[in-house]
Amino acid sequence: MAVIPIEIISDAICPWCFIGYRSLQRTIALYKKTYPGGSKDEFQIVWKPYFIDQVEPEESVLINDRMARRMTPAQISAAQTRLIRVGKSVGIAFRFGGYIGSSRLAHRVLHLALERGGGEMQCAVAETLFKYQFEREEDVSDVEIVVQAAVESSGLDESDVRAFLAGGGGVEETETEARGNRVQGVPHFVIGGQQHLDGAGEMEEFFQAFVAARAGMGKTAA
């Protein structure tokens, strides 16, 4: 058996991070089903923060208005069409009618999830935040949405989540981690501590990285 650690450097307001995570999940399932001995291997996933907006936005804006700051209408249409097509291939139903703002609260609640329930709970919260932002057209800069997503996906106590966020929990930790990541964009995956993948990632790339990581680390007999 091999234990393969995976770090996902991501932002909750990044649609390609959602796609990348779904591709990773599918590749893990394929690896466990097809790679010799892979069914016994364990993947330990941890999420690390990245702020697409280095300066925190003062307020949320419509997704289309945000995209219009750097794209023409034709480019927006093409970008959204591509996201819808690629998203559909990994089971994501992208919608772009909602508002989008700061991801600071989302990162802080992910920090809480890791503290309270480890990587498995953190993964559940991360995926739910993506679903809220990109499928349900909810704004994950809204504290009510973040609390709802965290409680729904993790079983954390609502009052505990509210107290953590209201009390400034996770602010210093997430800011420090984000500064220390040293990546230029997201998603970014670190597999087995050595294999680095930029972008959403193809399943073949992930699979090869799993195999390389497994070969490069000590394995214990099942």
What domains can you pick out in the chain, each with its CATH number?
1-50+181-222 (3.40.30.10)
The whole-angstrom separation of Cα 40 and Cα 37 is 6
pLDDT more than 70, % of the chain: 98
Task: Check: CB of residue 200 under 8 Å from CB of residue 130.
Answer: no
Q: Which amino acid is residue 90, in one-letter code?
A: V
pTM: 0.94
User: Is the predicted pLDDT of residue 191 greater than 80, yes or no?
Assistant: yes
Tell me how far apart the alpha carbons of residues 90 and 21 are, in angstroms, rounded to a whole number: 10
Residue with tokens 């650690």: 5
pLDDT at 75: 98
Q: Residue 170: left if φ>0, alpha if ψ -120 to 50, beta else—which one? A: left
pLDDT band at 218 (very low <50, low <70, confident <90, very high): low
